Amino acid sequence: MSRNYRSVLKPGTPSWAWRRALWRAQGLTDEDLQKPKIAVVNSSSQIAICFSHLDEVSVRVQEAIRAAGAIPFEVRTTAPSDFITSQGGRGGYILSARDLIVNDIEAQVEGAMLDGMICLASCDKTPPAHIMAAGRLNIPTLVLCCGYQPSGVYRGQHCDIEDVFTAAGGIRSGKYTIEEVKEMSEVAIQGPGVCPGLGTANTMHAVCESLGMSLPGSTPVMALSRAMWDYARAAAERIVEMVEQDLKPRSILTPAAFENAVMTMLCISGSMNSAKHMAAIAQESGVDVDVYGLFEKFADKIPLLTAVRPNGEHTIEQFEAAGGTRAVMKQLETFMRKDALTVTGKTVGENLAGITVADEDIIRPVKRAYGMGPTLVMMKGSLAPEGGIIKLSVTEKRDLQMRGPAIVFEQAQDALDAIGRGDVKPGHVVILRGVGPRGTPGMGMASAVVFAVLGADLTGKVAIVTDGQLSGLTNVGITMAEAQPEAANGGPIGLVENGDMIAIVVAKRTVDIEVAADVLEARRSKVHTWQSTNENGWLAIYRRLVLPMRQGSVLMK
């Protein structure tokens, strides 16, 4: 080790004396104090199985860092799980916790002036939060994605958390019984890790790699598998080298890197949540790039090469075996910005040299693509002037459209009750509003409404438009999420009344309210503004500071 590290303070100063006293008491020697200090960011928690294995990962990563000649310090953050920590605050603690993680990291790593970070990423919000923090602090950082959970078998068929999701939505309509759902929930998850499909978690793991912030070939990976442990050791060794080389995130997180990540998302039909998370990473990293604009730019240029659940029938295990994210980037090599730098210290082009795709039926070559035209469709129109997103499956037609009367809800539970009573009829456009980042606050989850529609056999018969968010596992007909501006920011979705005609044309990427502009403007004087739902504490702070989705819903500086 030869660099001057910022963690090594000048001998004889008060700060040096205090740190030496505390760290010597923890067993560090004076020789250790001269070595680089690396934060092992551990978003561990026993509250959800997504994070339950991270303590074991942290121990091994720390051992490997010490063996490589540096000193690890584990730091902890909050650990939000969509399935567990979505109950309170109308679901507002999920997205808002992403930014809480970023500030957790800043307070500990920057406060201690550590020299680098290796971040143990798991469930949905930890991967973007870790890269956001990396971009903000701009110290050498590597993200280690810690894997997906093994699935089970129910009555002879593959069964994972997505199947439980879908079945739970069908209880009200009688499509599934409570006992059946209980049976499925007992076998769906066979170990720790994130949801085993191309939901938000595995999507964001792919973002980490395609942005260049994770080791090539490391996503997706089954949690606690031999491959995961190999990548954990390699990542621990590499972060020590990165600190020595002073390879910082802002050298990696360039406009070219974001282009690569967006192209990868379009190619694999990743979660719609990737757009706002990448926008947030760009904001925190000071990168002048319009992520939503990139999705629009590449929409008709990038072929769809995979069909992994919930987009198709292939499993995440098959996707990993075929080569995962790196194999996708290899198939897209002629499109990739191969000059983009990565955590390896090499470019994307250098990382892809000599790589072959293990199974071209799972990750197809461009000449045998499933098709062209995006499954992540950026919509705009008089109902959402700044945009919204529709997620289609691989097999869904791209010419979907619907025109029908609005039926308006301001609480997800009210929509669920109406669907259960049969009040939502074929031809309706369900409007769920006031659940955006400021309106909830923290952005409410609309997925339960989508699965209730599925369970009530209304898929394809109704449309859904919301300013809230959807789980990355959600693919159901015409469902547009993240309508911008959100209702709480004065968006037209807040002006819709029952019976207003809504027209959605996916092929044209338009979503419109067929009400005259002057009529809508006249409604503003009496519209509900969603300024408060009597929240306090963290959610009250978040409401005051959160920026619009197009800016990643980060907190204003």
Contact criterion met (CB below 8 Å) for 85 and 73: no
Residue of 81, 274, 471, 553 marked active site: 471
Residue 380: strand, helix, or coil: strand
Separation of alpha carbons 502 and 514, rounded Å: 6
Structure tokens at 349: 């082009």
Contact criterion met (CB below 8 Å) for 528 and 554: no
Establish whether the linkage from the previous residue to 216 is cis, with ω within 30° of 0: no
- Residue 507 has φ and ψ, to the nearest 5°, of -60, -35
Structure tokens at 304: 């769809």
Establish whether the linkage from the previous residue to 220 is cis, with ω within 30° of 0: yes
Q: Would you call 517 exposed, middle or buried from its count of C-beta atoms within 10 A (0-12, 13-18, 19+)?
A: exposed
- Residue 59 has φ and ψ, to the nearest 5°, of -60, -45
Separation of alpha carbons 551 and 278, rounded Å: 10
Is 532 catalytic? The answer is no
Q: Which residues of 339-370 are buried (b: 16+ CB within 10 A; e: fewer)?
A: ebbbbbeebbeebbeebebeeeebbbeeeeeb
Q: What angle do CA 315, 482, 373 make, to 5 degrees?
A: 55
- In terms of Cα–Cα distance, which of 311, 409, 404 is closest to 362? 311
Residue 97: strand, helix, or coil: helix
Structure tokens at 119: 């971040």
Alpha-helical regions (H) of 408-501: 412-421, 447-455
Residue 405: strand, helix, or coil: strand
Structure tokens at 379: 């919509």
**Residue in the structure block whose two tokens are 């307070």:** 107
Structure tokens at 480: 């547009």
Q: Which residues of 266-277 are buried (b: 16+ CB within 10 A; e: fewer)?
A: bbbbbbbbbbbb
Q: Are strands 501-505 and 376-381 parallel, antiparallel or unpaired?
A: unpaired
Separation of alpha carbons 539 and 93, rounded Å: 7
Q: Which residues are catalytic?
A: 471
